[in-house]
Amino acid sequence: MNNRALGKLPKGWGGLTYDWSSDQRVFKGMPWNKAMMWIFLLSDTFIFCSVLISYMTVRVSTAVSWPDPSVVFGLEVFGTSVPLLLIAIMTFVLISSSGTMAIAVKYGYEKNRKLCAIFLLLTAVCGATFVSMQAFEWTKLILHEGVRPWGNPFGAEQFGAFFFMITGFHGTHVTIGVIFLLIMARKTWRGDFDTGRKGFFTSVTSNYRAIEIMGLYWHFVDLVWVFIFAFFYLW
């Protein structure tokens, strides 16, 4: 039995060439839509990282005091201001949606279309709830607290610009995800993935791999929020 059959690489340049060609075969075996999703997520990661790094750079370099998140994002309950209450609920809802998405992917692998569709719908409901609470947060800050992209009554003027840009960009991702989750739930419940029904805008036949790809996107959105929550609301 040769070295390749035993899982050992040949020595020298031959081993390097064999290893690289194996990686190429693995990559070429990956479905194009899944590969494109990974490329999209990688590019989106660079964008979010750039924005968060810019935010942290401005925050540590500004001479004006930065607004206190516990004061700015406090929610009044029965006459008492509770720091970060709304943000904590939003985070819990979005992280919970990551669990329902994982369950939907599991049932997708098992080709259990009804349970898969139900958990896709639950994930969409959690996402819509998150966006609704974020809209409430924006309304409160704009109409009642006087926060604007160019200024605010709490401290450094850059606070409003970074807040609306970061949370708005993320909220847009969540909104797009909710729309596609509803589409996926309908297609799954209708049995499109079982029959191989062609897509509306394309001639490509549908299959349950689309649920997995949707899961990659949704988990990415949840992960990004963890960093936004840590660097913007807790710092």
In this structure, the answer to whether residues 13 and 73 fall within a common structural domain is no
Residues 229 and 116 in one domain: yes
188/126 same-domain check: yes
AA identity, residue 152: N
203 has a pLDDT exceeding 60: no
pLDDT for 42 = 94
Dihedral sign, Cα of residue 99, residue 101, residue 107, residue 108: negative
pLDDT at 201: 46
Look at the chain and report how many structural domains it folds into. 2
Helix (H, G, I), strand (E, B) or coil at 157: coil
The answer to whether residues 16 and 71 belong to one domain is no
- Report whether pLDDT(9) > 60: no
For 194, list phi and psi in degrees, rounded to 5.
-80, -35
Range of the domain at 15: 1-30
> For residue 176, is pLDDT > 90?
yes
pLDDT band of residue 5 (cuts 50, 70, 90) is: very low
Average pLDDT over residues 165-187: 94
Given a cut of 90, is residue 47 above it in pLDDT? yes
15 pLDDT more than 70: no
Shared domain check, 25 and 90: no
CB count, 10 Å around CB of 188?
29
**pLDDT, mean of residues 154-183:** 93
Whether residues 65 and 11 fall in one domain? no
Q: Do 26 and 39 share a structural domain? A: no
Contacts of 48 (CB under 8 A, 6+ apart): 169, 170, 224, 227
What mean pLDDT is reported for the chain? 84
- In the predicted structure, residue 211 carries a pLDDT above the cut 50: yes
The residue that leads in pLDDT, 33 or 106, is 106
pLDDT over 70 percentage in the chain: 82
Cα dihedral: 219, 44, 84, 159 (round 10):
180
Q: What average pLDDT does the segment 39-66 reach?
A: 92
> What tens digit of pLDDT does each residue of 53-65 get?
999 999 889 888 8
